[in-house]
Structure 1
Amino acid sequence: MDGTQGRIGAIDGLRAVAIAGVVLYHLRPSPLPGGFLGVTVFLVITGYLATRSVERRIARGGAFSYGRYLAGRLARLLPPVLAAIALTALGTYLSSPGLLPKVQADALPSALFLVNWSYIFRQVSYFAAAGLPSPLTHLWYLAVAMQFYLVWPAVVMAAHRVLRTRGAAIAACAVLAALSTALMALLLDPAGDTARVYYGTDTRLAELSVGALTALALDGLRARGRRAVREGAPLPLALRVLPAAGALGLAALLAGFAFADGESPLMYR
Protein backbone atom coordinates (compact mmCIF):
# COMPACT_ATOMS: atom_id res chain seq x y z
CA MET A 1 0.00 0.00 0.00
CA ASP A 2 1.03 3.63 -0.34
CA GLY A 3 3.50 4.75 2.23
CA THR A 4 4.73 8.18 3.15
CA GLN A 5 5.82 10.39 0.26
CA GLY A 6 3.99 8.13 -2.17
CA ARG A 7 6.39 5.21 -1.95
CA ILE A 8 4.96 1.73 -2.52
CA GLY A 9 6.70 -0.93 -0.46
CA ALA A 10 5.60 -3.79 -2.71
CA ILE A 11 7.19 -2.12 -5.74
CA ASP A 12 10.44 -1.59 -3.86
CA GLY A 13 10.40 -5.32 -3.11
CA LEU A 14 9.73 -6.19 -6.75
CA ARG A 15 12.61 -3.96 -7.82
CA ALA A 16 14.91 -5.85 -5.45
CA VAL A 17 13.77 -9.18 -6.90
CA ALA A 18 14.30 -7.89 -10.45
CA ILE A 19 17.78 -6.54 -9.72
CA ALA A 20 18.79 -9.82 -8.07
CA GLY A 21 17.58 -11.74 -11.12
CA VAL A 22 19.49 -9.59 -13.60
CA VAL A 23 22.72 -9.57 -11.55
CA LEU A 24 22.65 -13.34 -11.04
CA TYR A 25 21.93 -13.83 -14.74
CA HIS A 26 25.11 -11.97 -15.66
CA LEU A 27 27.35 -14.01 -13.37
CA ARG A 28 29.45 -16.62 -15.13
CA PRO A 29 28.40 -19.36 -14.80
CA SER A 30 24.90 -18.03 -14.39
CA PRO A 31 22.84 -19.57 -11.55
CA LEU A 32 19.66 -18.02 -13.03
CA PRO A 33 19.46 -18.51 -16.82
CA GLY A 34 16.15 -16.62 -16.91
CA GLY A 35 17.21 -13.74 -14.68
CA PHE A 36 16.99 -11.38 -17.66
CA LEU A 37 13.22 -11.40 -17.02
CA GLY A 38 13.95 -8.89 -14.28
CA VAL A 39 13.88 -6.33 -17.10
CA THR A 40 10.25 -7.28 -17.78
CA VAL A 41 9.47 -6.53 -14.13
CA PHE A 42 11.05 -3.08 -14.47
CA LEU A 43 9.08 -2.33 -17.64
CA VAL A 44 5.78 -3.29 -16.01
CA ILE A 45 6.64 -1.11 -13.01
CA THR A 46 7.51 1.78 -15.37
CA GLY A 47 4.13 1.51 -17.11
CA TYR A 48 2.36 1.32 -13.76
CA LEU A 49 4.06 4.32 -12.16
CA ALA A 50 3.93 6.53 -15.27
CA THR A 51 0.20 5.91 -15.74
CA ARG A 52 -0.52 6.37 -12.04
CA SER A 53 1.41 9.65 -11.99
CA VAL A 54 -0.31 11.13 -15.06
CA GLU A 55 -3.77 9.94 -13.96
CA ARG A 56 -3.41 11.47 -10.50
CA ARG A 57 -2.16 14.79 -11.85
CA ILE A 58 -5.12 14.99 -14.21
CA ALA A 59 -7.54 14.01 -11.41
CA ARG A 60 -6.19 16.70 -9.07
CA GLY A 61 -6.85 19.66 -11.32
CA GLY A 62 -8.07 18.50 -14.70
CA ALA A 63 -4.99 20.01 -16.34
CA PHE A 64 -1.70 18.34 -17.09
CA SER A 65 1.54 20.05 -18.12
CA TYR A 66 3.32 17.76 -20.58
CA GLY A 67 6.40 20.02 -20.64
CA ARG A 68 6.71 20.02 -16.86
CA TYR A 69 6.26 16.25 -16.71
CA LEU A 70 8.91 15.62 -19.38
CA ALA A 71 11.32 18.10 -17.79
CA GLY A 72 10.92 16.23 -14.51
CA ARG A 73 11.72 12.89 -16.18
CA LEU A 74 14.80 14.35 -17.87
CA ALA A 75 15.98 16.03 -14.66
CA ARG A 76 15.71 12.71 -12.87
CA LEU A 77 17.31 10.47 -15.51
CA LEU A 78 19.76 12.52 -17.57
CA PRO A 79 22.31 13.52 -14.86
CA PRO A 80 22.84 9.96 -13.56
CA VAL A 81 23.01 8.60 -17.12
CA LEU A 82 25.66 11.13 -18.13
CA ALA A 83 27.59 10.45 -14.92
CA ALA A 84 27.38 6.69 -15.54
CA ILE A 85 28.69 7.10 -19.10
CA ALA A 86 31.60 9.30 -17.99
CA LEU A 87 32.59 7.08 -15.05
CA THR A 88 32.22 3.92 -17.13
CA ALA A 89 34.46 5.34 -19.85
CA LEU A 90 37.09 6.23 -17.26
CA GLY A 91 36.84 2.86 -15.51
CA THR A 92 37.04 0.99 -18.81
CA TYR A 93 40.11 2.98 -19.87
CA LEU A 94 41.85 2.14 -16.60
CA SER A 95 40.86 -1.51 -16.24
CA SER A 96 39.68 -2.95 -19.60
CA PRO A 97 40.88 -0.75 -22.47
CA GLY A 98 39.92 -3.46 -24.94
CA LEU A 99 36.27 -2.59 -24.29
CA LEU A 100 36.70 1.12 -25.05
CA PRO A 101 35.49 0.82 -28.68
CA LYS A 102 32.18 -0.59 -27.38
CA VAL A 103 31.86 2.23 -24.86
CA GLN A 104 32.60 4.80 -27.57
CA ALA A 105 29.98 3.28 -29.89
CA ASP A 106 27.33 3.30 -27.16
CA ALA A 107 28.04 6.60 -25.38
CA LEU A 108 26.15 9.04 -27.63
CA PRO A 109 23.11 6.80 -28.28
CA SER A 110 22.90 6.15 -24.54
CA ALA A 111 23.02 9.87 -23.72
CA LEU A 112 20.23 10.47 -26.28
CA PHE A 113 18.15 7.56 -24.92
CA LEU A 114 18.29 5.82 -28.31
CA VAL A 115 20.76 3.04 -27.62
CA ASN A 116 18.14 0.30 -27.94
CA TRP A 117 17.54 1.24 -31.58
CA SER A 118 21.28 1.58 -32.11
CA TYR A 119 21.63 -2.06 -31.02
CA ILE A 120 18.84 -3.07 -33.39
CA PHE A 121 20.38 -1.32 -36.39
CA ARG A 122 23.83 -2.70 -35.54
CA GLN A 123 22.36 -6.15 -34.80
CA VAL A 124 23.99 -6.33 -31.38
CA SER A 125 22.43 -9.31 -29.61
CA TYR A 126 21.89 -9.00 -25.87
CA PHE A 127 22.53 -12.72 -25.46
CA ALA A 128 25.37 -13.27 -27.92
CA ALA A 129 27.25 -10.39 -26.31
CA ALA A 130 26.86 -11.76 -22.79
CA GLY A 131 30.52 -12.89 -22.61
CA LEU A 132 32.08 -9.44 -23.09
CA PRO A 133 29.20 -6.99 -23.49
CA SER A 134 29.53 -3.25 -23.67
CA PRO A 135 29.73 -1.81 -20.14
CA LEU A 136 26.84 0.47 -21.18
CA THR A 137 24.52 -2.29 -22.41
CA HIS A 138 22.19 -1.93 -19.42
CA LEU A 139 21.21 1.61 -20.48
CA TRP A 140 19.00 0.21 -23.25
CA TYR A 141 16.24 -0.19 -20.66
CA LEU A 142 16.34 3.53 -19.78
CA ALA A 143 16.14 4.33 -23.49
CA VAL A 144 12.90 2.36 -23.77
CA ALA A 145 11.56 4.01 -20.61
CA MET A 146 12.33 7.54 -21.83
CA GLN A 147 10.73 6.87 -25.23
CA PHE A 148 7.65 5.69 -23.35
CA TYR A 149 7.66 8.83 -21.18
CA LEU A 150 7.74 10.95 -24.35
CA VAL A 151 4.59 9.43 -25.81
CA TRP A 152 2.50 8.00 -22.99
CA PRO A 153 1.24 11.22 -21.32
CA ALA A 154 -0.27 12.30 -24.66
CA VAL A 155 -1.90 8.88 -24.99
CA VAL A 156 -3.40 9.11 -21.49
CA MET A 157 -4.70 12.63 -22.11
CA ALA A 158 -6.26 11.58 -25.42
CA ALA A 159 -7.83 8.57 -23.70
CA HIS A 160 -9.47 10.88 -21.14
CA ARG A 161 -11.15 12.78 -23.98
CA VAL A 162 -12.15 9.78 -26.09
CA LEU A 163 -12.76 6.95 -23.62
CA ARG A 164 -15.47 7.82 -21.15
CA THR A 165 -15.07 4.94 -18.68
CA ARG A 166 -12.26 3.27 -16.78
CA GLY A 167 -13.30 -0.07 -18.25
CA ALA A 168 -12.80 1.25 -21.78
CA ALA A 169 -9.32 2.55 -20.85
CA ILE A 170 -8.40 -0.84 -19.35
CA ALA A 171 -9.63 -2.57 -22.50
CA ALA A 172 -7.53 -0.20 -24.65
CA CYS A 173 -4.42 -1.08 -22.63
CA ALA A 174 -5.19 -4.77 -23.08
CA VAL A 175 -5.48 -4.28 -26.86
CA LEU A 176 -2.15 -2.44 -26.94
CA ALA A 177 -0.51 -5.26 -25.00
CA ALA A 178 -1.98 -7.87 -27.35
CA LEU A 179 -0.85 -5.98 -30.46
CA SER A 180 2.68 -5.56 -29.11
CA THR A 181 2.82 -9.25 -28.17
CA ALA A 182 1.67 -10.23 -31.66
CA LEU A 183 4.25 -7.88 -33.20
CA MET A 184 7.03 -9.52 -31.20
CA ALA A 185 5.97 -12.95 -32.44
CA LEU A 186 5.63 -11.77 -36.07
CA LEU A 187 8.98 -9.94 -36.18
CA LEU A 188 10.92 -12.78 -34.61
CA ASP A 189 13.34 -14.50 -36.97
CA PRO A 190 13.90 -17.89 -35.31
CA ALA A 191 17.03 -18.50 -37.39
CA GLY A 192 18.44 -15.01 -36.88
CA ASP A 193 19.21 -12.58 -34.10
CA THR A 194 16.74 -11.59 -31.37
CA ALA A 195 17.91 -7.95 -31.17
CA ARG A 196 14.90 -6.52 -33.05
CA VAL A 197 12.30 -8.06 -30.76
CA TYR A 198 14.34 -7.85 -27.56
CA TYR A 199 15.26 -4.15 -27.74
CA GLY A 200 12.33 -2.73 -29.71
CA THR A 201 10.18 -0.14 -27.96
CA ASP A 202 7.18 -1.34 -29.95
CA THR A 203 7.73 -4.98 -29.04
CA ARG A 204 8.27 -4.06 -25.38
CA LEU A 205 5.09 -1.99 -25.25
CA ALA A 206 3.22 -5.09 -24.05
CA GLU A 207 4.97 -4.99 -20.67
CA LEU A 208 4.52 -1.24 -20.34
CA SER A 209 0.83 -1.56 -21.27
CA VAL A 210 0.28 -4.28 -18.68
CA GLY A 211 1.72 -1.91 -16.08
CA ALA A 212 -0.65 0.82 -17.25
CA LEU A 213 -3.59 -1.60 -17.17
CA THR A 214 -2.66 -2.58 -13.62
CA ALA A 215 -2.56 1.05 -12.48
CA LEU A 216 -6.03 1.71 -13.88
CA ALA A 217 -7.51 -1.52 -12.55
CA LEU A 218 -6.06 -1.17 -9.05
CA ASP A 219 -7.24 2.42 -8.69
CA GLY A 220 -10.74 1.28 -9.60
CA LEU A 221 -10.59 -1.64 -7.16
CA ARG A 222 -9.34 0.60 -4.35
CA ALA A 223 -12.26 2.97 -4.95
CA ARG A 224 -14.71 0.05 -4.77
CA GLY A 225 -13.01 -1.21 -1.62
CA ARG A 226 -13.28 2.16 0.11
CA ARG A 227 -16.95 2.38 -0.85
CA ALA A 228 -17.60 -1.13 0.51
CA VAL A 229 -15.92 -0.22 3.82
CA ARG A 230 -18.03 2.94 4.15
CA GLU A 231 -21.21 1.00 3.46
CA GLY A 232 -20.29 -1.95 5.68
CA ALA A 233 -20.43 -4.32 2.70
CA PRO A 234 -18.02 -7.20 1.96
CA LEU A 235 -14.91 -6.32 0.00
CA PRO A 236 -15.12 -7.05 -3.75
CA LEU A 237 -14.00 -10.57 -4.64
CA ALA A 238 -11.15 -9.22 -6.79
CA LEU A 239 -9.64 -7.45 -3.78
CA ARG A 240 -9.94 -10.56 -1.63
CA VAL A 241 -8.10 -12.78 -4.12
CA LEU A 242 -5.34 -10.26 -4.92
CA PRO A 243 -2.90 -11.53 -2.24
CA ALA A 244 -3.16 -15.09 -3.56
CA ALA A 245 -2.83 -13.86 -7.15
CA GLY A 246 0.26 -11.89 -6.16
CA ALA A 247 1.83 -14.95 -4.54
CA LEU A 248 1.17 -17.02 -7.67
CA GLY A 249 2.64 -14.27 -9.85
CA LEU A 250 5.80 -14.13 -7.76
CA ALA A 251 6.13 -17.92 -7.90
CA ALA A 252 5.75 -17.83 -11.71
CA LEU A 253 8.37 -15.08 -11.96
CA LEU A 254 10.88 -17.04 -9.87
CA ALA A 255 10.20 -20.13 -12.00
CA GLY A 256 10.92 -18.01 -15.07
CA PHE A 257 14.19 -16.85 -13.52
CA ALA A 258 15.18 -20.48 -13.03
CA PHE A 259 14.13 -21.99 -16.36
CA ALA A 260 13.60 -19.35 -19.10
CA ASP A 261 15.91 -19.24 -22.12
CA GLY A 262 16.38 -15.86 -23.79
CA GLU A 263 17.54 -17.43 -27.06
CA SER A 264 14.54 -19.75 -27.39
CA PRO A 265 11.90 -18.65 -29.95
CA LEU A 266 9.25 -19.73 -27.43
CA MET A 267 10.20 -16.78 -25.20
CA TYR A 268 9.06 -14.34 -27.88
CA ARG A 269 5.85 -16.13 -28.80
Structure 2
Amino acid sequence: MFNRKARNLELALEVQESRGFWQDVGHRFIRNNKTIIGLLLLGIIVLMCIYGMLFLDYKTEVVNMNIPNKLQTPSAAHPFGTDDLGRDIFNRIVYGARYSLFIGFSATIISLSVGSLLGCIAGYFGGKIDGVIMRITDVFIAIPSTLMAIAVVSALGPNFANLIIAIAIGDIPGYARIIRSSVLSIRDNEFVEASIAVGGSHAHVMAQHIFPNTLAALIVQATLGVGYVIIAASGLSYLGLGVMPPAPEWGAMLSEAQAQIRYFPHQVIFPGLAIVITVLALNLLGDALRDAIDPTLKD
Protein backbone atom coordinates (compact mmCIF):
# COMPACT_ATOMS: atom_id res chain seq x y z
CA MET A 1 0.00 0.00 0.00
CA PHE A 2 2.79 2.42 0.93
CA ASN A 3 4.72 1.63 -2.25
CA ARG A 4 1.60 2.24 -4.36
CA LYS A 5 1.03 5.66 -2.77
CA ALA A 6 4.68 6.58 -3.26
CA ARG A 7 4.53 5.51 -6.90
CA ASN A 8 1.34 7.54 -7.48
CA LEU A 9 3.03 10.56 -5.94
CA GLU A 10 6.07 10.13 -8.18
CA LEU A 11 3.85 9.86 -11.26
CA ALA A 12 1.95 13.00 -10.25
CA LEU A 13 5.19 14.91 -9.81
CA GLU A 14 6.48 13.69 -13.18
CA VAL A 15 3.29 14.83 -14.93
CA GLN A 16 3.45 18.21 -13.19
CA GLU A 17 7.11 18.70 -14.19
CA SER A 18 6.36 17.72 -17.81
CA ARG A 19 3.84 20.56 -18.12
CA GLY A 20 4.86 24.15 -18.73
CA PHE A 21 4.15 26.86 -16.19
CA TRP A 22 0.96 28.13 -17.81
CA GLN A 23 -0.24 24.59 -18.52
CA ASP A 24 0.21 23.80 -14.85
CA VAL A 25 -1.62 26.98 -13.88
CA GLY A 26 -4.49 26.12 -16.22
CA HIS A 27 -4.69 22.58 -14.83
CA ARG A 28 -4.88 23.82 -11.24
CA PHE A 29 -7.30 26.59 -12.17
CA ILE A 30 -9.78 24.21 -13.80
CA ARG A 31 -9.67 21.81 -10.85
CA ASN A 32 -10.52 24.54 -8.34
CA ASN A 33 -14.11 24.57 -7.06
CA LYS A 34 -14.02 28.37 -7.01
CA THR A 35 -13.45 28.31 -10.76
CA ILE A 36 -16.55 26.21 -11.38
CA ILE A 37 -18.78 28.42 -9.24
CA GLY A 38 -17.30 31.63 -10.62
CA LEU A 39 -17.62 30.54 -14.26
CA LEU A 40 -21.19 29.38 -13.66
CA LEU A 41 -22.23 32.72 -12.15
CA LEU A 42 -20.34 34.75 -14.74
CA GLY A 43 -21.82 32.61 -17.50
CA ILE A 44 -25.31 33.54 -16.28
CA ILE A 45 -24.41 37.24 -16.46
CA VAL A 46 -22.96 36.82 -19.97
CA LEU A 47 -26.08 34.97 -21.11
CA MET A 48 -28.11 37.88 -19.77
CA CYS A 49 -26.09 40.23 -21.98
CA ILE A 50 -26.63 38.03 -25.03
CA TYR A 51 -30.34 37.69 -24.30
CA GLY A 52 -30.66 41.45 -23.92
CA MET A 53 -28.92 42.13 -27.23
CA LEU A 54 -30.91 39.57 -29.21
CA PHE A 55 -34.39 39.62 -27.74
CA LEU A 56 -35.04 42.91 -25.95
CA ASP A 57 -36.05 46.11 -27.67
CA TYR A 58 -34.41 48.99 -25.83
CA LYS A 59 -37.21 51.51 -26.25
CA THR A 60 -40.34 49.41 -25.86
CA GLU A 61 -39.19 46.87 -23.26
CA VAL A 62 -36.48 48.68 -21.30
CA VAL A 63 -37.00 52.45 -21.07
CA ASN A 64 -40.56 53.25 -22.19
CA MET A 65 -42.99 54.06 -19.36
CA ASN A 66 -46.10 51.95 -18.71
CA ILE A 67 -47.83 53.80 -15.87
CA PRO A 68 -50.80 51.38 -15.48
CA ASN A 69 -48.31 48.62 -14.55
CA LYS A 70 -46.24 50.66 -12.09
CA LEU A 71 -45.01 49.25 -8.77
CA GLN A 72 -46.17 45.69 -9.36
CA THR A 73 -44.64 43.01 -7.15
CA PRO A 74 -42.89 39.97 -8.70
CA SER A 75 -45.27 37.77 -10.69
CA ALA A 76 -45.32 35.41 -13.67
CA ALA A 77 -45.72 38.35 -16.06
CA HIS A 78 -42.98 40.38 -14.34
CA PRO A 79 -40.55 38.04 -12.51
CA PHE A 80 -38.80 40.91 -10.69
CA GLY A 81 -41.80 43.24 -10.60
CA THR A 82 -42.01 46.73 -12.10
CA ASP A 83 -40.66 50.13 -11.03
CA ASP A 84 -42.47 53.40 -10.36
CA LEU A 85 -42.74 54.07 -14.10
CA GLY A 86 -44.13 50.63 -14.94
CA ARG A 87 -40.92 49.33 -16.52
CA ASP A 88 -40.11 45.64 -16.15
CA ILE A 89 -37.23 45.32 -13.67
CA PHE A 90 -36.11 41.94 -15.03
CA ASN A 91 -35.68 43.35 -18.54
CA ARG A 92 -33.83 46.37 -17.20
CA ILE A 93 -31.45 44.23 -15.14
CA VAL A 94 -30.79 41.94 -18.10
CA TYR A 95 -30.07 44.88 -20.38
CA GLY A 96 -28.06 46.65 -17.68
CA ALA A 97 -25.61 43.75 -17.48
CA ARG A 98 -24.10 45.08 -20.71
CA TYR A 99 -23.26 48.41 -19.06
CA SER A 100 -21.70 46.90 -15.95
CA LEU A 101 -19.54 44.34 -17.75
CA PHE A 102 -18.45 46.79 -20.45
CA ILE A 103 -17.49 49.43 -17.88
CA GLY A 104 -15.71 46.84 -15.72
CA PHE A 105 -13.58 45.38 -18.48
CA SER A 106 -12.99 48.64 -20.39
CA ALA A 107 -11.78 50.60 -17.36
CA THR A 108 -9.62 47.68 -16.25
CA ILE A 109 -8.00 47.32 -19.68
CA ILE A 110 -7.22 51.05 -19.85
CA SER A 111 -5.76 51.27 -16.35
CA LEU A 112 -3.89 47.98 -16.80
CA SER A 113 -2.33 49.09 -20.09
CA VAL A 114 -1.20 52.51 -18.89
CA GLY A 115 -0.14 51.26 -15.47
CA SER A 116 1.84 48.36 -16.95
CA LEU A 117 3.69 50.71 -19.31
CA LEU A 118 4.58 53.13 -16.53
CA GLY A 119 5.56 50.33 -14.16
CA CYS A 120 7.78 48.65 -16.75
CA ILE A 121 9.56 51.90 -17.57
CA ALA A 122 10.04 52.82 -13.91
CA GLY A 123 11.29 49.41 -12.86
CA TYR A 124 13.51 48.82 -15.90
CA PHE A 125 15.33 52.16 -16.07
CA GLY A 126 15.29 53.04 -12.37
CA GLY A 127 17.06 56.18 -11.20
CA LYS A 128 15.46 59.55 -11.89
CA ILE A 129 12.87 58.09 -14.26
CA ASP A 130 11.70 55.70 -11.56
CA GLY A 131 11.66 58.49 -9.00
CA VAL A 132 9.56 60.83 -11.14
CA ILE A 133 7.00 58.17 -12.10
CA MET A 134 6.65 56.83 -8.56
CA ARG A 135 6.25 60.31 -7.05
CA ILE A 136 3.47 61.04 -9.51
CA THR A 137 1.74 57.77 -8.60
CA ASP A 138 2.16 58.65 -4.91
CA VAL A 139 0.17 61.83 -5.49
CA PHE A 140 -2.67 59.86 -7.09
CA ILE A 141 -2.58 57.15 -4.42
CA ALA A 142 -2.83 59.81 -1.70
CA ILE A 143 -6.26 60.76 -3.07
CA PRO A 144 -9.00 58.16 -2.39
CA SER A 145 -9.94 56.50 -5.68
CA THR A 146 -13.65 57.21 -5.24
CA LEU A 147 -12.98 60.88 -4.55
CA MET A 148 -10.68 61.00 -7.58
CA ALA A 149 -13.40 59.49 -9.78
CA ILE A 150 -15.99 61.95 -8.47
CA ALA A 151 -13.64 64.86 -9.21
CA VAL A 152 -12.88 63.66 -12.74
CA VAL A 153 -16.54 62.99 -13.60
CA SER A 154 -17.56 66.35 -12.15
CA ALA A 155 -14.94 68.09 -14.29
CA LEU A 156 -15.67 66.20 -17.52
CA GLY A 157 -19.40 65.76 -17.06
CA PRO A 158 -21.45 62.66 -16.14
CA ASN A 159 -21.72 60.26 -19.05
CA PHE A 160 -20.77 56.72 -20.01
CA ALA A 161 -17.31 57.45 -21.48
CA ASN A 162 -16.24 59.85 -18.73
CA LEU A 163 -17.23 57.30 -16.09
CA ILE A 164 -14.83 54.76 -17.61
CA ILE A 165 -12.03 57.33 -17.83
CA ALA A 166 -12.55 58.49 -14.25
CA ILE A 167 -12.37 55.00 -12.76
CA ALA A 168 -9.42 54.01 -14.96
CA ILE A 169 -7.37 57.02 -13.83
CA GLY A 170 -7.79 56.04 -10.20
CA ASP A 171 -6.63 52.46 -10.84
CA ILE A 172 -3.48 53.24 -12.85
CA PRO A 173 -1.13 53.77 -9.85
CA GLY A 174 -1.97 50.36 -8.36
CA TYR A 175 -1.08 48.50 -11.55
CA ALA A 176 2.05 50.61 -12.01
CA ARG A 177 3.34 49.68 -8.57
CA ILE A 178 2.60 45.97 -9.02
CA ILE A 179 4.45 45.84 -12.34
CA ARG A 180 7.35 47.92 -11.06
CA SER A 181 7.94 45.58 -8.12
CA SER A 182 7.90 42.57 -10.46
CA VAL A 183 10.27 44.23 -12.94
CA LEU A 184 12.75 45.10 -10.19
CA SER A 185 13.02 41.42 -9.30
CA ILE A 186 13.41 40.36 -12.95
CA ARG A 187 15.66 42.94 -14.61
CA ASP A 188 18.93 41.65 -13.09
CA ASN A 189 18.39 38.05 -14.17
CA GLU A 190 20.89 36.46 -16.54
CA PHE A 191 18.48 36.06 -19.45
CA VAL A 192 17.81 39.81 -19.42
CA GLU A 193 21.53 40.64 -19.32
CA ALA A 194 22.16 38.17 -22.15
CA SER A 195 19.50 39.81 -24.32
CA ILE A 196 21.07 43.23 -23.74
CA ALA A 197 24.56 41.84 -24.43
CA VAL A 198 23.57 40.57 -27.89
CA GLY A 199 22.22 43.98 -28.86
CA GLY A 200 18.58 43.85 -27.81
CA SER A 201 16.96 47.26 -27.55
CA HIS A 202 15.31 48.42 -24.36
CA ALA A 203 11.87 48.10 -25.95
CA HIS A 204 12.67 44.55 -27.14
CA VAL A 205 13.94 43.47 -23.73
CA MET A 206 10.90 44.86 -21.93
CA ALA A 207 8.40 43.44 -24.42
CA GLN A 208 9.97 40.00 -24.93
CA HIS A 209 11.64 39.16 -21.63
CA ILE A 210 10.43 41.33 -18.76
CA PHE A 211 6.74 42.02 -19.30
CA PRO A 212 5.75 38.35 -20.00
CA ASN A 213 7.24 37.40 -16.63
CA THR A 214 4.99 39.88 -14.83
CA LEU A 215 1.76 38.50 -16.28
CA ALA A 216 1.04 36.13 -13.39
CA ALA A 217 0.59 38.88 -10.80
CA LEU A 218 -1.03 41.17 -13.35
CA ILE A 219 -3.75 38.71 -14.39
CA VAL A 220 -4.80 38.05 -10.81
CA GLN A 221 -4.95 41.75 -9.97
CA ALA A 222 -6.88 42.56 -13.15
CA THR A 223 -9.45 39.84 -12.51
CA LEU A 224 -10.10 41.13 -9.01
CA GLY A 225 -10.00 44.71 -10.31
CA VAL A 226 -12.95 44.22 -12.66
CA GLY A 227 -15.21 43.54 -9.69
CA TYR A 228 -14.00 46.69 -7.95
CA VAL A 229 -14.66 48.74 -11.09
CA ILE A 230 -18.23 47.45 -11.30
CA ILE A 231 -18.85 48.46 -7.68
CA ALA A 232 -17.26 51.87 -8.25
CA ALA A 233 -19.31 52.46 -11.40
CA SER A 234 -22.52 51.48 -9.62
CA GLY A 235 -21.67 53.82 -6.76
CA LEU A 236 -21.04 56.77 -9.07
CA SER A 237 -24.22 56.05 -11.02
CA TYR A 238 -26.09 55.91 -7.71
CA LEU A 239 -24.79 59.41 -6.97
CA GLY A 240 -25.88 60.62 -10.40
CA LEU A 241 -22.32 60.86 -11.75
CA GLY A 242 -22.25 57.81 -13.99
CA VAL A 243 -24.61 56.32 -16.54
CA MET A 244 -27.59 58.63 -16.65
CA PRO A 245 -31.27 57.59 -16.57
CA PRO A 246 -33.21 56.15 -18.27
CA ALA A 247 -30.32 53.79 -19.11
CA PRO A 248 -30.74 50.67 -16.92
CA GLU A 249 -27.36 50.69 -15.17
CA TRP A 250 -27.64 48.77 -11.89
CA GLY A 251 -26.39 51.61 -9.68
CA ALA A 252 -28.72 54.08 -11.36
CA MET A 253 -31.60 51.66 -10.79
CA LEU A 254 -30.79 51.60 -7.08
CA SER A 255 -30.79 55.38 -7.01
CA GLU A 256 -34.15 55.59 -8.76
CA ALA A 257 -35.70 53.04 -6.39
CA GLN A 258 -34.56 54.51 -3.07
CA ALA A 259 -37.77 56.52 -2.63
CA GLN A 260 -39.87 53.30 -2.69
CA ILE A 261 -37.49 51.07 -0.75
CA ARG A 262 -39.74 50.86 2.32
CA TYR A 263 -42.90 49.69 0.58
CA PHE A 264 -41.51 48.16 -2.63
CA PRO A 265 -38.12 46.68 -1.68
CA HIS A 266 -38.02 44.44 -4.77
CA GLN A 267 -36.89 47.48 -6.76
CA VAL A 268 -33.67 47.53 -4.72
CA ILE A 269 -33.20 43.84 -3.96
CA PHE A 270 -32.84 42.58 -7.53
CA PRO A 271 -30.42 45.21 -8.90
CA GLY A 272 -28.39 44.82 -5.70
CA LEU A 273 -28.27 41.04 -6.12
CA ALA A 274 -27.13 41.49 -9.72
CA ILE A 275 -24.16 43.56 -8.53
CA VAL A 276 -23.35 41.12 -5.71
CA ILE A 277 -23.48 38.03 -7.94
CA THR A 278 -21.33 39.60 -10.67
CA VAL A 279 -18.66 40.81 -8.26
CA LEU A 280 -18.73 37.48 -6.38
CA ALA A 281 -18.16 35.57 -9.63
CA LEU A 282 -15.18 37.75 -10.58
CA ASN A 283 -13.67 37.53 -7.09
CA LEU A 284 -14.00 33.74 -7.08
CA LEU A 285 -12.21 33.57 -10.43
CA GLY A 286 -9.52 35.93 -9.15
CA ASP A 287 -9.01 33.83 -6.02
CA ALA A 288 -8.84 30.66 -8.11
CA LEU A 289 -6.21 32.23 -10.37
CA ARG A 290 -4.19 33.34 -7.37
CA ASP A 291 -4.33 29.83 -5.92
CA ALA A 292 -3.24 28.37 -9.27
CA ILE A 293 -0.37 30.78 -9.82
CA ASP A 294 1.02 30.95 -6.28
CA PRO A 295 3.95 28.48 -6.23
CA THR A 296 3.58 27.89 -2.48
CA LEU A 297 0.16 26.31 -3.10
CA LYS A 298 1.32 23.69 -5.62
CA ASP A 299 0.39 20.12 -4.94
TM-score by length of 2: 0.29
TM-score by length of 1: 0.31
